[in-house]
């Protein structure tokens, strides 16, 4: 099976890249955030937080393309929280709002009374990788945090169809494309997602580069600085994103 059996050299490269990404703590947002202390738990079903399974539920931008095109029946953060709580009534659920939603840039806020009812902890402005390390499982619609959790050996339940769902590596509770018949292991999927498919740009040389160089740049902090104009444009993009249907008609 070509999806699983990579050539030895290719597999070793993918393994080293995954190890480097995990060791360096590189993530999608790559921001320094506060760590959140969670109670130590086991898999027991008891009501005490010290014996409850810990589940991370990452919020998303609800008008994002990944939700519009990849979500199933569960397509809002509130419904995701409801589904996670219904399926895991005794779990210690941590809800992590999306950074752009926290900043007021995009849609997806959940009312405080709802998060208080459905989650045991709302981890605002928290380090997502520290949260992944602290939990047993991630429940998501299509968030990239699900893939980052897979790379770190965590169980992942998907209610939508992100690129990493449907290959036998996640628990899928939503529809996934029927064409996803291959059964790659995690390293093969990581090779496809991090090496084979994307193209990387080196901010130092201005030239294309391999993923290993991109990781080194992120680790060393050599990335383009975001100025006030870029931040203003990002906010404008967020404000208009939910109204894209207006200019897409016809």
- Per-residue pLDDT, averaged over 21-44, amounts to 74
pTM as predicted: 0.83
Q: In the chain, what are the domains? A: 8-220 (3.40.50)
- Per-residue pLDDT, averaged over 75-99, amounts to 95
- Per-residue pLDDT, averaged over 97-104, amounts to 85
The CA distance from 42 to 53, in Å, is 6
Confidence of residue 225 (pLDDT cuts 50, 70, 90): low
The CA distance from 161 to 113, in Å, is 29
**Count of C-beta atoms within a 10 Å radius of residue 102:** 16
Confidence of residue 249 (pLDDT cuts 50, 70, 90): very low
The CA distance from 31 to 203, in Å, is 18
The CA distance from 214 to 202, in Å, is 6
């Amino acid at each position: 099976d070509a999806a699983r059996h990579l050539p030895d050299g290719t597999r070793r490269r993918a393994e080293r890249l995954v190890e480097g990404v995990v060791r360096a703590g590189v993530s999608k947002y790559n921001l320094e955030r506060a760590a959140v202390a969670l109670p130590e738990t086991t898999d027991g079903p008891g009501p005490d937080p010290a014996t409850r399974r810990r589940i991370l539920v990452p919020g998303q931008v609800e008008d994002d393309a990944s939700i519009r095109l990849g979500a199933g029946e569960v397509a809002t953060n509130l419904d995701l929280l409801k589904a996670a709580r219904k399926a895991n009534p005794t779990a210690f659920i941590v809800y992590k709002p999306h950074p752009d939603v926290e900043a007021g840039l995009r849609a997806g806020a959940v009312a405080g009374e709802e998060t208080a009812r459905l989650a045991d902890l709302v981890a605002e402005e928290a380090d997502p990788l520290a949260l992944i390390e602290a939990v047993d499982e991630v429940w998501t619609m299509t968030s990239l945090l699900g893939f980052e959790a897979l790379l770190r050996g965590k169980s992942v339940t998907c209610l939508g169809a992100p690129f990493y769902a449907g290959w036998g590596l996640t628990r899928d509770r939503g529809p996934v494309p029927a064409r996803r018949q291959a059964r790659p292991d995690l390293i093969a999927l990581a090779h496809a997602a991090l090496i084979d498919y994307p193209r990387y740009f080196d901010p130092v040389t201005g030239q294309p580069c391999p993923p290993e160089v991109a990781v080194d740049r992120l680790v060393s902090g050599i990335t383009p600085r975001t100025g006030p104009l870029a931040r203003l444009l990002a906010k404008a993009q967020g404000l208009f994103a939910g109204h894209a249907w207006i200019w897409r008609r016809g």
